[in-house]
Amino acid sequence: HAKEHGVEFSRYTAAMKMRTQSRVELENDMRKGLEREEFFLEFQPQIGLDTGKMLGMEALVRWNHPKRGLLPPSEFIPLAEDSGLIVPLGEWVLKTACQYNKKWQDEGYDPVCVSVNLSMRQFRQYNLTERIDSILQEVGLDPRYLELEVTESMTYDIDTALEQLYRLKKLGIHISIDDFGTGYSSLYYLKSLPIDRLKIDRSFVKEVMCDGNDAAIVSTITTMAHHLKLKVTAEGVENQEQLEFLKLQNCHEGQGYLFSKPVPASEFESKFLSRKAG
Ligand code: C2E
Ligand code: CA
Ligand code: CA
Ligand code: CA
C-alpha cells in the first residue's frame, strides 16, 4: 500500500508541476505577448431594442498566441487576474478601446459609447481614476463615450467600492454592472451605488422562453431598473423569441449573437458604424 501511495503521490506532484510549469510559461508568454502586440480587440454592438439602432459597443480582448493560436479570454483572463498581469493588460485594453473610439469619431462616424470590462484587481487600484483620466486625456476621448463594466463582486468591500465609483463618475464616464444577478449585491447597495446600467447576465436570458423562473427574473430586473432610473441591457440575445420577450418588458438594449458576435475592428467599422445622412 505504501508503495501504491508513493506512486500516486509522485504522479500527483508530476501533474501539479506540469500545471505550474504551463502556468508560469503562459504568464511569461503573456508578458512577452503584451510587448509583441499579440493581443487585439473585438467589438460587439449593443442594440436599442425599440429602434434596432446601435447605441454602443463592447470591447472584448483576444490573444493571438504564437504557438497555441487564437485564445478566448476564458483561457487567459483568470491567469492574468491571479498573476496581476490583468493590470497592464487591462490598461492596454482601455487605451486601445478608447483609441479606436476616438479614431472613429474623428473619421466622422456617429459617436457611440465603448464599454470596457474592468477586473476587480484593476477596480481596487487606489489610483485607478487618475490612470483612466490620463488615458482619456492622452487619447483625447470625451469621457462620456467610455463605459466601464464592473461586476457585483465589487460590493465585497462596499465602502471602497462607493468611494471608487464616485471618483470614476466624477470623471464623466458611465458605469454598468456586468453579469447582473449572478453575484451577491443586495438591493440596499443597488440603491446607493452611482451606476448607470445593469447588464442582465446571459444565463437568465438563455432560458427565458422555457423557464418561467428565468422569465420572472428578467422581467423583475428590467422593471426594477426602470424604477431606479437605470438603463438595462440583456446579454446573450440569440433568437427572435427572446428579443420579442425583452421588447415586451421594455428592456432598452440587447447584445448577442442575434445581432452579431464580437468582430474585429475593421469588420465592426464597415458593418456597424454609420455617418449621419447629409
Ligand atoms: P462578458 O463581459 O460577460 O462578455 C460577454 C461574453 O459573452 C463575450 O465572451 C461574448 O463573446 C459572449 N457573447 C456575446 N453574445 C453572446 C450570445 O448571444 N451567446 C453566447 N453564448 N455568448 C455571447 P468572450 O469575449 O469570450 O469574453 C468572456 C469574458 O471574458 C467576458 O464576459 C469578460 O468577463 C471577460 N473579458 C473579455 N474581455 C475582457 C477584458 O478586456 N478585460 C477583462 N477584465 N475581462 C474581459
Ligand atoms: Ca462585459
Ligand atoms: Ca456579461
Ligand atoms: Ca463576465
Q: What is the pLDDT of residues 199-251, one digit of tens each?
A: 999 999 999 999 999 999 999 999 999 999 999 999 999 999 999 999 999 99
Neighbours of 87 (CB within 10 A): 18
Q: What residue owns the CA closest to ligand 1's atom 41?
A: 61
Closest CA to 195 of 131, 159, 157, 150: 150
β-bridge partners, 63: 39, 71
254 lines ligand 1 (CB under 6 A): no
CA–centroid distance, 178 to ligand 4, in Å, is 6
pLDDT tens-digit profile of 246-277?
Answer: 999 999 999 999 999 999 999 999 999 998 86
For the chain, report the end-to-end CA distance as a whole number of angstroms.
83
Is the shortest distance between the CB of 188 and ligand 1 below 6 Å? Answer: no
From CA 50, how far away is CA 52, in angstroms rounded? Answer: 6
> How far apart are the C-alpha atoms of 76 and 119, rounded to whole Å?
13
Q: Which residue type does 70 have?
A: L
Cβ atoms 79, 30 nearer than 8 A? yes
ipTM associated with this complex: 0.98
Q: Whose CA is nearest to atom 11 of ligand 1?
A: 262
**Is residue 4 predicted with pLDDT exceeding 70?**
no
Give the pLDDT score at 15. 66
For residue range 94-141, what is the model confidence (pLDDT) as tens digits? Answer: 999 999 999 999 999 999 999 999 999 999 999 999 999 999 999 999
Tell me how far apart the alpha carbons of residues 241 and 207 are, in angstroms, rounded to a whole number.
11
What is the residue with the minimal CA distance to atom 27 of ligand 1?
73
46 lines ligand 1 (CB under 6 A): no
